Structure 1
């Protein structure tokens, strides 16, 4: 075989290998989801060199009554992920917008048991279990899929401020700066995405990133802590 033919054949064989390596690298970098809510930065020594390692907040367990009266905690959400939102039943337009968008997420993952929705009221004095039951029906919440939670004001206040780091809830009326944010929480109870729940394109991004996390779980690429 002539040298030019040998070189040409070698290049033909090399192209698929290079393409595979490029796509693998691109895919890994493109779809690696960030982690939010850092707690601290530690320094560790690797091969004689100091590296900074961020320690991210891991949400602590809380238990609250749901719209069915069932007590729900993180133990009930294990091995999957969930989308957190905050609302109150007499909220005007923005809560309705968020909940309408969340119905899209519920429908998209209707048959995926690892995906759930968890909505906490910021006005527990008014939003009793019976009120939440009627409210959940309004949005077609599927039992065991979408939980509307109420409970002790102090515990909810701590959840809002210390776990999700939102502005404080004080008094009887909801005085929290009404957040439009949704939070994607992974199976290690860490926040992996924050979204504007009133915008359709943000919900599209949320749906995509849920799909990415599920893919990493299925392929053992997301470590469990």
Structure 2
């Protein structure tokens, strides 16, 4: 075989390999989800050189009563893959819009057991288990899929302010700010996305990023 023909054949064989490596690298970089809520920066020494790594917050354990009266824990929500967390107050128009958008998330992942949803009440003095049961029914919450959670004010304060870092007015959950925010929490209890829960566009992004996260689980 002539040298020129050998070179052409080599290039033909090399192109698919280069294309595969390019697409693999592009896909990894393009679709890697960020991690939110940094805790601190650790410095470690590798081969005589100091490297700085950001340590991200992990959502702490909690156990709160749901609309069924049964207590639901952080471990139960995260053990299958991921969950979507939100904060709401019955009777407020913003929360009506938020939960209407979350209905779309539930419907899209209705048959995906690794996706769960947790909506925390920010008005525990009003939102008893009985009230949450009616509210869950109003929005078609599927048992074991979408949990409406309440509890005492101290416990809800801890979840909202310390774990999800929502600012509170006068230390009260009923006055929490930015509570239209929705959080995507992965199986390692880290926040991988923050969204405006009243925005259709933002919830579309949430659903896309849920699919990305599930894909990474399938291809670890």
Question: Which category of TM-score, normalised to the shorter sequence, fits these structures?
Answer: over 0.9
The answer on whether the counterparts of 2:184 and 2:191 sit within 8 Å (CA) in structure 1 is yes
User: Any stretches of 5+ residues in structure 2 without a counterpart?
Assistant: none
The answer on whether the counterparts of 1:68 and 1:133 sit within 8 Å (CA) in structure 2 is yes
Distance in 2 between residues matched to 1:172 and 1:49, nearest whole Å: 46
Distance in 2 between residues matched to 1:76 and 1:192, nearest whole Å: 18
The answer on whether the counterparts of 1:88 and 1:121 sit within 8 Å (CA) in structure 2 is yes
Cα deviation code 1:54-106 (max 9, x no counterpart): 111111111111011010011212131100000011112x2111111111110
Aligned to 2:104: 104
The answer on whether the counterparts of 1:81 and 1:187 sit within 8 Å (CA) in structure 2 is yes
Distance in 1 between residues matched to 2:178 and 2:49, nearest whole Å: 45
TM-score (norm 2): 0.95
| Structure 2 residue matching 1:75: 3-state secondary structure | helix
Aligned to 1:141: 141
Distance in 2 between residues matched to 1:210 and 1:171, nearest whole Å: 32
The answer on whether the counterparts of 1:125 and 1:172 sit within 8 Å (CA) in structure 2 is no
Aligned to 1:17: 17
Given the alignment of the two structures, is residue 192 of structure 1 paired with residue 196 of structure 2, yes or no? no
Distance in 1 between residues matched to 2:173 and 2:45, nearest whole Å: 50
| Runs of 4+ more than 2 Å apart | 169-173
The answer on whether the counterparts of 1:157 and 1:169 sit within 8 Å (CA) in structure 2 is no
| Structure 1 residue matching 2:111: 3-state secondary structure | coil
Aligned to 1:31: 31
Compute the RMSD of aligned alpha carbons.
1.4
User: Any stretches of 5+ residues in structure 1 without a counterpart?
Assistant: none
TM-score (norm 1): 0.93
The answer on whether the counterparts of 1:44 and 1:52 sit within 8 Å (CA) in structure 2 is yes
Q: Offset at 1:47?
A: 2.1
Distance in 2 between residues matched to 1:158 and 1:172, nearest whole Å: 11
